[in-house]
Amino acid sequence: MTITERISALRSTMQQNDLDAYIIPSSDPHQSEYVAPHWEARSWLSGFTGSAGILVITMEHAGLWTDSRYFIQAETQLKGTPVVLHQQGPARGPEHLEWLGKQLPEGATVGIDGMLFSLSQNRTLVKMLHQYKLELEIQHDLLPAIWADRPPLPTEAIFEIANKFTGMSRADKLTQIRAKMTDQQTSHYLISALDEIAWTFNLRGRDIDFNPVFVAYAVIEATHAILFVDAKKINSELSDQLKADGIFVKAYDTVTTYLSALTADQPLLVDKATTSIGLYQHLNKKSIKESSSIVSVLKGIKNPTEIKNIRQAMRYDGVALTRLYRSLEKTLSAGETITEAELADQLASFRSEQPGYYGESFPAIVGYQANGAIVHYRPEHGTSATIHPKGLLLLDSGGQYHSGTTDITRTTALGPVTADQRYHYTLVLKGHIGVAALHFPEGTKGYQVDTLARQALWNAHLDYGHGTGHGVGFFLNVHEGPQSISSSAGRGSVALEVGMLTSNEPGFYRPDEYGIRIENLVLTAEAGSSDFGDFLKFDTVTLFPIDLSLVDKSLLTTTEIQWLNTYHKLVFEELSPLLEPAEVVWLKDKCKIFD
Amino acid sequence: MTITERISALRSTMQQNDLDAYIIPSSDPHQSEYVAPHWEARSWLSGFTGSAGILVITMEHAGLWTDSRYFIQAETQLKGTPVVLHQQGPARGPEHLEWLGKQLPEGATVGIDGMLFSLSQNRTLVKMLHQYKLELEIQHDLLPAIWADRPPLPTEAIFEIANKFTGMSRADKLTQIRAKMTDQQTSHYLISALDEIAWTFNLRGRDIDFNPVFVAYAVIEATHAILFVDAKKINSELSDQLKADGIFVKAYDTVTTYLSALTADQPLLVDKATTSIGLYQHLNKKSIKESSSIVSVLKGIKNPTEIKNIRQAMRYDGVALTRLYRSLEKTLSAGETITEAELADQLASFRSEQPGYYGESFPAIVGYQANGAIVHYRPEHGTSATIHPKGLLLLDSGGQYHSGTTDITRTTALGPVTADQRYHYTLVLKGHIGVAALHFPEGTKGYQVDTLARQALWNAHLDYGHGTGHGVGFFLNVHEGPQSISSSAGRGSVALEVGMLTSNEPGFYRPDEYGIRIENLVLTAEAGSSDFGDFLKFDTVTLFPIDLSLVDKSLLTTTEIQWLNTYHKLVFEELSPLLEPAEVVWLKDKCKIFD
């Protein structure tokens, strides 16, 4: 079936169901950012594989809305299909709901699969569509009727992660969660988000590429907990261990029946942001207490054991990167070349030699020259660019280790550097250090930090079209909340608390020429108290040198140079004991004092 | 009557009305920040005269809630009264509604005078009190029963301000407003805010100290407008001119009758933030359309004539300040002294010699040494400190000119400077320049700018307890919206648009020792376009040197030093043509190149 045929089939089904429009988001019933193939309907229907995008089908039009990270990718992937790209962002065209409001006549009906929209999203949807006098039908999963070869639900085995990694047993986590449930006067708590379930039970899975989670729902009650999951994924030994902790397994699809039987005296806490409206509809409204997620907040603050492990994972990652970049230098100076996709494989291979390695935390972005300007570029064998000893290479990658999740971006010069490249790189670096070196009062929120990453670029009338930082899980999803360093007061509304792990990744992109991004992970830490209260700081935990050959030192302040030198001293001290002598020599040179 | 007797009288009235608590805010029926004496009930009942504070009276307790700007003032003024200070702010005690929730039994009744609370405030009030199962009664103005010598409503004459100052006739302003009314499909628009009424009709008054406004309501209709105001305040000539523009005068207290007669086919736009719940209650709900203020947005953006005039007012102000500081230097070096209150008078006197001077824009804060640490200190004759040739002097003042409103703070060394003073001053200056020199993309909001003013202080574990910038009116209120540079996503939620006039005033306060604040007004201006969109910048329009003897140059970056030198060059060029030769010599020295 071609994309055209698929959309045509969908339209027939829409007509049978009296729908004038159908919205297909990127998510699954758990509001995951990345989904199992079973839920990749948007990509199946449009050809666009980016992580963020909304497909809207009417009888006359097929439109895909996505943000600036994906403009280039979407244009490429939609070519030859009937799907039209609608760019999201300030001063672009209308958002999809506004567009629908303008296109459809009053009284028209818009359909969705309610399992793919959260309570909060549904409310926005209802409110917006109401404004345009459009109806919303949320009971329609049209895909089964047309998607013959739809991949089945994943069946990969679930495994445990030891307390020496997590720092807290699942029993202790349940105790902590139940204390918060008591505070909120609730006896039942539904967890829909897959990373929250994995964290709570110290379990991991392989259902979604790069995200070590498994498809499930969980309900925590006062004395026991229920995991709604395909029982075949849990071996008998694990099942026994779970039972010993008061955790019982029931079939995934029985969650609705189970929850809908709750009565008014069995209050059920649901998280508005991750509970689907499809599930919510079946529940007893008298039982439901809406709130934000308990687990998201607990999980966001890493405990001392996790922090110790994260620091170890960063050393492993730094060693793998040292080997990769040293090997690349050798390859190029020997007059040989390598493709972006080959380099990505080589990096995965170096990481895989490290203790406790589990896999990549996301598909590595190896963006050579112009490809570096494509924010979420993913090199493929056969089409990816060949790397030569010239120009800039942007490499954004991460590993999953039992001791933690990493995410690092470096931009390096492979040959002579132009004045513009050096200027832009230095501005990005100034932004990176502005955040990395900041001390701030307790209570400071993500949106208060974002501008420090942009100030130097803004003053040169430049900017970047993505956020500055996202939360990172512990051997879990590379994008996790609740915090974020963002220019949006909404996304950046959470205070940056001690123990949170966040990325610091300003960038600059010159389309068709090059991309620059410098990303480290930072842990929020205590910085001391004064008459003005308790102050916090960011401890940079990622360990790999920043390319000094791209830095215009005359643009840096003394403080910025000091930060660089202190960072490189730390990188060398932490990594050199794990390296071969020749590698130590190589690293020493990269970490040289900049003065 | 003593404060104790007044509170006791209020409690008797509360009992007669079955109220368990009564809340007295700082505002008037127009949500003014500063009010006419008639509405100074909070100050009459508690003795606290600060601009912000909420008094809560129960049968057992009298509490005043105010923020950190006023802690010291409130402590002093509440001494000897039964009123207890409750400090507002992070990590302080509960806010007043939370406190009421804890103190009062379920079912208790809280009373307010609905005329003093906006629609938005009332909703928050209802929501919060509902949470604690408390009732709200909004029909109670208890003051008339107990306040025998309450000042009457003000009766000062209203006067016109010429188009050469405002840059736009009232007829043109009404046309502009009516276009926005048409966009919002409304035929009637109620204006409650006094500065908005003054701006709309190019009228000014003397009803509130320092704010050239008059007590009134206005309703704009499609073909005419009505000013609800005491007719005695408008002479017949002005009355005729208003009539010629289709503006008719009706008595102030007839606004309720007038508005409540509107029918469903006469939609009335009301601003949630400034329309009182007391007034709203009397209106036909079928007629009302709630929205934000049309005038606030129009008024916030200064037109080219206003901008030209503002620049002129800044020159006048700079000349007055030059004369003041030069005179102070002479006084001190002659071995004489002067009190803070005398210095404030002298400044007003120098300003009054300038063209178009009308009065002060707020009571000058002349804070010598420890008094500088009291953020809203106001020196009084008889008690104010005597200034000697040592220590720091903080002077925050402003003038009202027909050509604009000014607001400037300078902190100056009157003798030898300690290392701490120089360090703190330099950190504040770095924050000031961080904002002043920023270029930013169109659409940037106030909350995105605030941290730049605090970064240097935060990195030294210091901070200040007030916002960074407020909007300023044109020959109107010194505090006006809609924009603000604030760490709060709410208060700072408005984008900084071309033509907005905003203060830039970071500070640092060491209690009992000294206060530092450096404040200039900045106009948002176009900075040019790039591939990344349109960029804006701040043009600093305030003209007076910054005390270099307090600056530790080793802490400044090259860019910061350049900003200082460029600013001082501008100050000298703009002011020197208006000065006497000896004054030019003095200013030349203060504006010397810092290298």
Average pLDDT for residues B2-22, to the nearest whole number?
96
The reported pLDDT for the residue numbered A375 is 85
DSSP-H helix ranges across B104-169: 119-131, 143-146, 163-166
- Tokens matching residue B529: 């376009």
Smallest CA–CA distance, residue A151 to chain B, in Å, is 42
Give the burial string for A458-481 (b: 16+ CB within 10 Å, else e): bbbbbbbebbbbbbbbbbbbbbbb
Chain A residue with minimum CA distance to B491: A489
Kindly tell me the burial class for residue B294, based on how many C-beta atoms sit within 10 Å of its own C-beta (0-12, 13-18, 19 or more).
Answer: buried
Q: Does A440 touch chain B (CB under 8 A)?
A: yes
Q: Does B527 touch chain A (CB under 8 A)?
A: yes
Among A451, A461, A529, the residue with its CB nearest the CB of B449 is A451
Q: Does A441 touch chain B (CB under 8 A)?
A: yes
Put simply, the answer to whether A91 touches B493 (Cβ < 8 Å) is no
The reported pLDDT for the residue numbered B484 is 97
Interface test with B, best of A87, A185, A461 (most B CBs within 10 A): A461
Kindly tell me the burial class for residue A248, based on how many C-beta atoms sit within 10 Å of its own C-beta (0-12, 13-18, 19 or more).
Answer: middle
Q: Does A537 touch chain B (CB under 8 A)?
A: no
Q: Does B176 touch chain A (CB under 8 A)?
A: no
DSSP state of B200: H
Q: Does A462 touch chain B (CB under 8 A)?
A: yes
CA distances from B79 to A417, B4, B179 (A): 69, 12, 53
pLDDT at B51 over 90: no
Which residue's structure tokens are 């902790």?
A: A245
The reported pLDDT for the residue numbered B142 is 94
pLDDT at B93 over 90: no
Residues of B in contact with A462 (CB under 8 A): 530, 532
CA distances from A82 to A6, A58, A60, A96, B108 (A): 11, 12, 10, 17, 64
Residue whose C-alpha is closest to residue B143's, from B279, B256, B275, B17: B17
Is-contact A408 A519, C-beta < 8 A? Answer: yes
Residues of A in contact with B440 (CB under 8 A): 458
Residues of B in contact with A529 (CB under 8 A): 461
DSSP state of B435: H
Which residue's structure tokens are 């929730």?
A: B101
Looking only at Cα atoms, what is the longest distance across chain A? 74
- d(C-alpha A565, C-alpha A522), whole Å: 17
Interface test with B, best of A92, A185, A485, A532 (most B CBs within 10 A): A532
Smallest CA–CA distance, residue B505 to chain A, in Å, is 17
Strand partners, B539: B523
The reported pLDDT for the residue numbered B92 is 82
- d(C-alpha A31, C-alpha A479), whole Å: 13
Half-sphere exposure of A443 (CA within 13 A, CB side): 11
Residue B139 binned pLDDT confidence (cut-offs 50, 70, 90): confident
Residues of A in contact with B443 (CB under 8 A): 90
pLDDT at B91 over 80: no
Residue B285 binned pLDDT confidence (cut-offs 50, 70, 90): confident
- d(C-alpha A288, C-alpha A268), whole Å: 5
Residues of B in contact with A557 (CB under 8 A): 557
Put simply, the answer to whether A530 touches B91 (Cβ < 8 Å) is no
Is-contact A580 A450, C-beta < 8 A? Answer: no
Put simply, the answer to whether B462 touches A532 (Cβ < 8 Å) is yes
- d(C-alpha B192, C-alpha A126), whole Å: 33
Among B439, B455, B461, the residue with its CB nearest the CB of A452 is B455
Is-contact B201 B180, C-beta < 8 A? Answer: no
Average pLDDT for residues B287-300, to the nearest whole number?
94
| Cα B587–Cα B588–Cα B591 angle in degrees, nearest 5 | 85
Q: Could you tell me how many CB contacts below 8 A there are between chain A and chain B?
A: 77
Angle between helices B558-575 and B581-590 (to 10 degrees): 170
- d(C-alpha B327, C-alpha B338), whole Å: 11
DSSP state of B529: E
Residues of A in contact with B532 (CB under 8 A): 461-463
pLDDT at B333 over 90: yes
| Average pLDDT in chain B | 96
B189-200 confidence digits (pLDDT tens): 999 999 999 999
Residues of B in contact with A450 (CB under 8 A): 448
Residue whose C-alpha is closest to residue B467's, from B429, B426, B502, B418: B502
Kindly tell me the burial class for residue B256, based on how many C-beta atoms sit within 10 Å of its own C-beta (0-12, 13-18, 19 or more).
Answer: middle
Smallest CA–CA distance, residue B472 to chain A, in Å, is 24
Among B439, B448, B487, the residue with its CB nearest the CB of A487 is B448
A324 SS3 class: helix
Smallest CA–CA distance, residue B489 to chain A, in Å, is 6
Residue whose C-alpha is closest to residue A310's, from A120, A482, A539, A135: A539
Among A91, A458, A493, the residue with its CB nearest the CB of B438 is A458
Chain B residue with minimum CA distance to A437: B459
B55-89 confidence digits (pLDDT tens): 999 999 999 999 888 888 899 999 999 999 999 98
Put simply, the answer to whether B487 touches A452 (Cβ < 8 Å) is no
Q: Does A213 touch chain B (CB under 8 A)?
A: no
3-state helix vs strand vs coil in chain B, percent to 5 = 40, 25, 35
Q: Does A448 touch chain B (CB under 8 A)?
A: yes
Among B450, B452, B459, the residue with its CB nearest the CB of A455 is B452
In chain B, % of residues over pLDDT 90:
93
The reported pLDDT for the residue numbered B89 is 80
Put simply, the answer to whether A533 touches B441 (Cβ < 8 Å) is no
Put simply, the answer to whether A462 touches B487 (Cβ < 8 Å) is no
List, as one string, the DSSP characters of B482-495. EEEE-SSTTTT-SB
pTM of the model: 0.92
Q: Does A581 touch chain B (CB under 8 A)?
A: no
Residues of B in contact with A496 (CB under 8 A): none
Would residue B89 be called left, alpha or beta, if left means φ above 0 and alpha means ψ between -120 and 50 degrees?
left
Strand partners, A579: none
Kindly tell me the burial class for residue B274, based on how many C-beta atoms sit within 10 Å of its own C-beta (0-12, 13-18, 19 or more).
Answer: buried
Chain B residue with minimum CA distance to A450: B448
Q: Does A489 touch chain B (CB under 8 A)?
A: yes
The reported pLDDT for the residue numbered B286 is 86
Is-contact B65 B56, C-beta < 8 A? Answer: yes
pLDDT at B422 over 80: yes
Put simply, the answer to whether A438 touches B461 (Cβ < 8 Å) is no
- d(C-alpha A514, C-alpha A510), whole Å: 5
| Cα A520–Cα A525–Cα A530 angle in degrees, nearest 5 | 135
- d(C-alpha B215, C-alpha B212), whole Å: 10
**ipTM score for this prediction:** 0.91
Looking only at Cα atoms, what is the longest distance across chain B? 74
- d(C-alpha B191, C-alpha B160), whole Å: 19
What is the CB neighbour count within 10 angstroms for residue B292? 14
Put simply, the answer to whether B90 touches A443 (Cβ < 8 Å) is yes
Put simply, the answer to whether A461 touches B528 (Cβ < 8 Å) is yes
Q: Does B185 touch chain A (CB under 8 A)?
A: no
Q: Which is more confident, B458 or A73?
A: B458
Residues of B in contact with A487 (CB under 8 A): 448
Residue whose C-alpha is closest to residue A57's, from A96, A29, A2: A96
Q: Does A512 touch chain B (CB under 8 A)?
A: no
Among B439, B450, B463, the residue with its CB nearest the CB of A461 is B439
What pLDDT tens digit does each residue of chain A (595 aa) get? 899 999 999 999 999 999 999 999 999 999 999 999 999 999 999 999 988 899 999 999 999 999 888 888 899 999 999 999 999 977 788 899 999 999 999 999 999 999 999 999 999 999 999 989 999 999 888 999 999 999 999 999 999 999 999 999 999 999 999 999 999 999 999 999 999 999 999 999 999 999 999 999 999 999 999 999 999 999 999 999 999 999 999 999 999 999 999 998 999 999 999 999 999 998 988 889 998 999 999 999 999 999 999 999 999 999 999 999 999 999 999 999 999 999 999 999 999 999 999 999 999 999 999 999 988 888 999 999 999 999 999 999 999 999 999 999 999 999 999 999 999 999 999 999 999 999 999 999 999 999 999 999 999 999 999 999 999 999 999 999 899 999 999 999 999 999 999 999 999 999 999 999 999 999 999 999 999 999 999 999 999 999 999 999 999 999 999 999 999 999 999 999 999 999 999 999 999 999 7
Is-contact A470 A539, C-beta < 8 A? Answer: no
Asked if omega into B151 is within 30° of 0 (cis), the reply is: no
Residues of A in contact with B438 (CB under 8 A): 455, 458-459
Put simply, the answer to whether B458 touches A441 (Cβ < 8 Å) is yes
A75: enclosing H helix or E strand: helix A71-78
Strands B217-221 and B188-191: antiparallel
CA distances from B595 to A416, A555, B416, B551 (A): 36, 18, 21, 12
Q: Does B528 touch chain A (CB under 8 A)?
A: yes
Chain A residue with minimum CA distance to B68: A532
Residues of A in contact with B533 (CB under 8 A): 90-91, 463
